[in-house]
Amino acid sequence: MTLSVTTAMVDLSTGRHELTTVPPEVVHAYLGGRGLNMAYLYRALSDHPEPRKLDPLGPENPLIVGAGLITGTQAPNAARFNVSARSPESGILGDSNCGGFFGAAMRKAGFDRLVIRGRAEQPSYLLLEEGTLSLLPADDLWGTDIHAAQEMLKARHGPGTVAAVIGPAGENQVRMAGIFTGKKNAAGRGGMGAVMGSKNLKAIVARGGPPIAIAQKDALRAIRLRQQEYLKNSRVIQVLGTAGTPMLYEVSNRLGAIRTRNSQENHFADSLNAEEIEKFSDKMLACTSCVVHCRHRNTLGGEGPEYSTVGLLGANLGIAATEQVIALNNLVNTLGLDSSSTGTIIGWAMELYQRGLITDELTGGPLLWGDFERVTGLIEDIAHRRGFGAILAESTQAVRFFPLEARDYLIAVKGLPQSDPHDVRYFKGFALGIAVASRGADHLRNRPTLEVFNLPDEVRARIYGRANDPDPTSYKDKGLIVAWSDDIYALSDCLGICRFVTHGFNSPHLLGYSHFQELVHAATGLEQDVDDLREVGRRVIDTERLINASFGLARSDDTLPKRYFNDPMPDRKTKGHRIEPEQFQHMLDEYYAERGWDAEGRVPAARQEEITRLVSSLP
Amino acid sequence: MLIHVRLAEPFWRAAGSRTLALELPAPATIADLLARLEADYPALKTEIELSPPLIFIGEMEAERTSSLAAGALVHLVWPLAGG
Ligand code: SF4
């Protein structure tokens, strides 16, 4: 089998598209998913006379939707696709990874990737079907929420239809709007839904098509069975499949590391423990080819909540009632909002109100911790850009409506609100991770989660390649472990494999480079050794650094929310911990050195030339 | 003396209960408590070996040698910090 990776170049302004094949050298270099998306994004920016002036909500911002190289195959948890563009939320690299069934459906329909430019004249959707692509009117869908849009599209196109849609938030170009492929599965981060809305694109629908071509079917099946057994023996996989990610809440809370009331506090109510969430769960759900089944179906009509949502729409807003937090989870998902950004931004506004930095005149009424009714109304208003909600719909950019001091209380990096509810002042590697993550404050790019285990020195040395300081609260060697995590997580995003089965994320007993190598070989026929695969991850991180450099980002942008430097954590085991600024700079130095970047965090010229040459062969 | 135990994921599943109340002869340490738990709940013994927990007495992290006071609430928490 000759591997052929396709990209449809779509122009919504003209309604035309062209199906292209990615040059083999570029496939070898980036594989697919996040990696190839970054190659296309960097290519688009290289063509732009002034990337800094590229309007994220303008027709020229490319919306790149790309499935992982082995998404939709029998490989374990190979469900993911990435959506990338210049982020309207942060103004920098925007990239969001999503599970569910859409990635596989898109590949089956004959498309590995779409690069969507322009703006449709009227509300429209794209239909991918049996290798054909059509642009169809969506006037009747415009204004519908996530569930209604998906149901209408399923009814229209029949069984096997899978749709990636935006809700009212995306239509209204709310800067933290996501793209949803189910009741909860979302490309949530960075406002990719707003980019889609700015293009008048309500949905991308995939259906039909032959099975995805596999180089060595029997070998892949055998590898799948073996890796499945290996994964199922992992304790973390077993527990994720019963309790889901909410189990992480109790751990962080007991440590005193749950972002509470905009990180003024660091622990919250036990009513948000996994056992309480579980009372509202009637089933565990899965994505394509998943061996874990980590997602709750809740009895209030939605899916989730995940740990991040529990923390950020619960503890971060002072809301303790389990049922209320689940209701808020369902609401943001129905309207098409990213729960992480929404919870962070509302928490920020609540603290500004608490401090008298904003008043009823701006907010339209009291904004008090724990006020479920007010938060419910505010989420609706954000999605529809009404009243004070229209200001918060600007996400971190709402800072322009507030006094200057407001930025001191914003829990964001590079314009992106922090994704997860873990207060990173204690684990120094976590802090470095969100400071350098290419899309802004985000744990899924590089969180060195093994820091929480007391792993023996020799095991740590084997994992990270050399001896390193086992103390998670020291600043030493954190550059090494964050760079290591960067690389392997980037690779799994290129392949389309879920983070929950990727080596180093919650466990050292998950799928690593050699597992990935055998999967890639059997699924595609590509001959890549482990070093080649490592290099793919490194190249993706370098490409992302170049993308952000083209938006003007520099070392000074690799930083943390002011509170993490200034305010010690108030309670529990983490009490007294904060990030010491000078030590933080040493961590950055070490991280840049690990990455082979110069002291300013710049990618070496030779690598830049290599990447420029590779992407220049893309259409 | 009466000691209360709170078991987080995944420990409670092995014991069949989220909370336990145990009578231990005073004086007692965390090691004594764990020995008693492991004797009473063999599945929990396996779980603790597989996934060594973080242990807290109230809000303070504890060691195996930490002393227990009557009425103490001990938490067994699995160290995980992903997302
Ligand atoms: S572990 Fe969860 S998020 Fe990952 S593929 Fe399975 S169900 Fe989807």
A292 lines ligand 1 (CB under 6 A): yes
Mean pLDDT value of segment A354-358: 98
Boundary-marking domain end, from A398, A417, A436:
A417
Residue A433 has pLDDT above 80, yes or no: yes
Contact B81 A430 (CB under 8 A): yes
Quick one: pLDDT band at residue A12, thresholds 50, 70, 90? very high
For the segment A376-400, what is each residue's pLDDT rounded down to a tens digit?
Answer: 999 999 999 999 999 999 999 999 9
Question: What is the predicted pLDDT for the residue at A437?
Answer: 98
Question: What is the predicted pLDDT for the residue at A153?
Answer: 98
Residue A205 has pLDDT above 90, yes or no: yes
Angle at A278 between CA A273 and CA A281, to 5 degrees: 145
Residue A2 has pLDDT above 80, yes or no: no
A79 lines ligand 1 (CB under 6 A): yes
Handedness of CA A38, A40, A45, A46 (dihedral sign): positive
Q: Is the same domain home to A65 and A169?
A: yes
Residue B80 has pLDDT above 90, yes or no: no
Total Cβ atoms within 10 A of residue A227: 21
Question: What is the predicted pLDDT for the residue at A552?
Answer: 97
Mean pLDDT value of segment A519-547: 97
Count of the separate structural domains present in chain A: 3
Q: Is the same domain home to A155 and A47?
A: yes
Q: Is residue A535 part of a domain?
A: yes
State which residues form the domain around A184. Answer: 6-207
Q: Is the same domain home to A409 and A433?
A: no
Question: What is the predicted pLDDT for the residue at B82?
Answer: 72
Backbone phi, psi, residue A122, to 5°: -130, 160
A191 burial (CB, 10 Å; 0-12 / 13-18 / 19+) is buried
Question: In terms of Cα–Cα distance, which of A201, A177, A216 is closest to A338?
Answer: A177
CATH number for the domain that contains residue A490: 1.10.599.10
> Do B2 and B28 meet the contact criterion of CB atoms below 8 Å apart?
no
Q: Please enumerate in sequence order all residues whose Cβ is within 8 A of that of A238, keeping only pairs 6 or more positions apart, or say none.
A: A232, B10
Boundary-marking domain end, from A388, A417, A446:
A417
Q: Is the same domain home to A142 and A193?
A: yes
Q: Is residue A479 part of a domain?
A: yes
Question: In terms of Cα–Cα distance, which of A59, A21, A1, A14 is closest to A200?
Answer: A59
**Which of A290, A444, A489, A492, when mutated, tests ligand 1's pocket best, judged by the most ligand atoms within 8 Å of its CB?**
A290
H-only helix segments in A244-386: 247-255, 274-278, 307-313, 322-335, 339-354, 360-363, 372-384
CATH number for the domain that contains residue A294: 1.10.569.10
Q: What is the pTM of this model?
A: 0.97
Q: Please enumerate in sequence order all residues whose Cβ is within 8 A of that of A192, keeping only pairs 6 or more positions apart, or say none.
A: A63, A83, A84, A85, A87, A94, A96, A177, A178, A179
Q: Is residue A225 part of a domain?
A: no
Pick the range with the lowest mean pLDDT from A191-200, A449-458, A599-608, B32-41: A449-458
Which residues in A lie closer than 8 A to residue B10 (C-beta atoms)? 235, 238-239, 242-243, 247
Q: Is the same domain home to A444 and A592?
A: yes
ipTM: 0.92
Q: Is the same domain home to A441 and A408?
A: no
Which residues in B lie closer than 8 A to residue A419 (C-beta atoms)? 83
Quick one: pLDDT band at residue A452, thresholds 50, 70, 90? confident
Mean pLDDT of chain B, nearest integer: 93
Question: In terms of Cα–Cα distance, which of A546, A526, A514, A611 is closest to A31?
Answer: A526
Mean pLDDT value of segment A291-311: 97
Ligand 1 centroid from CA A97, angstroms: 12
Contact B81 A242 (CB under 8 A): no
* Closest CB from B8, B77, B82 relative to A449: B82
Q: Is residue A223 part of a domain?
A: no
Tokens found for residue A298 = 């809740």
Q: Is the same domain home to A94 and A183?
A: yes
Containing A69, the helix (H) or strand (E) segment is none
* Plot region of A295 (φ>0 → left; ψ -120 to 50 → alpha; else → beta): beta
Backbone phi, psi, residue A315, to 5°: -55, -40
Q: Is the same domain home to A540 and A464?
A: yes
Query: What's the CATH code, domain B2-77?
Result: 3.10.20.30
Q: Closest ligand 1 atom, CA of A294?
A: 2
Q: Is the same domain home to A444 and A380?
A: no
Q: Is the same domain home to A380 and A444?
A: no
Boundary-marking domain end, from A382, A417, A452:
A417
CA torsion angle for A282, A295, B47, A276 (degrees, to 10)? -50
Question: What is the predicted pLDDT for the residue at A298?
Answer: 97
Question: What is the predicted pLDDT for the residue at A453?
Answer: 86
Handedness of CA B39, B44, B47, B52 (dihedral sign): negative
Q: Please enumerate in sequence order all residues whose Cβ is within 8 A of that of A60, keeping only pairs 6 or more positions apart, or say none.
A: A48, A54, A117
Quick one: pLDDT band at residue A587, thresholds 50, 70, 90? very high
For the segment A50-109, what is each residue's pLDDT rounded down to a tens digit?
Answer: 999 999 999 999 999 999 999 999 999 999 999 999 999 999 999 999 999 999 999 999
Mean pLDDT value of segment A348-370: 98
Share of chain A above pLDDT 90, in %: 97
Chain B residue nearest residue A249, CA to CA = B81
The amino acid at A137:
P
Q: Is the same domain home to A361 and A437?
A: no
Q: Where are the domains of chain B?
A: 2-77
Q: Is residue A231 part of a domain?
A: no
Interface test with B, best of A453, A509, A569 (most B CBs within 10 A): A453
Tokens found for residue A85 = 């563009």
For chain A, what percentages of helix, strand and coil (3-state, to nearest 5) are there?
Answer: 45, 15, 40
Cis geometry, peptide bond prior to residue A49 (ω within 30 degrees of 0): no
Q: Is residue A422 part of a domain?
A: no
Mean pLDDT of chain A, nearest integer: 97
Q: Closest ligand 1 atom, CA of A291?
A: 6
Cis geometry, peptide bond prior to residue A23 (ω within 30 degrees of 0): no
Q: Is the same domain home to A111 and A193?
A: yes
CA distance A396 to A89: 7
Containing B4, the helix (H) or strand (E) segment is strand B2-7
Q: Which residues pair with A417 in a beta bridge?
A: A412
CATH number for the domain that contains residue A202: 3.60.9.10
Quick one: pLDDT band at residue B50, thresholds 50, 70, 90? confident
Q: What is the DSSP letter of A440?
A: S
Share of chain A above pLDDT 70, in %: 100
* Closest CB from B8, B12, B13 relative to A251: B8
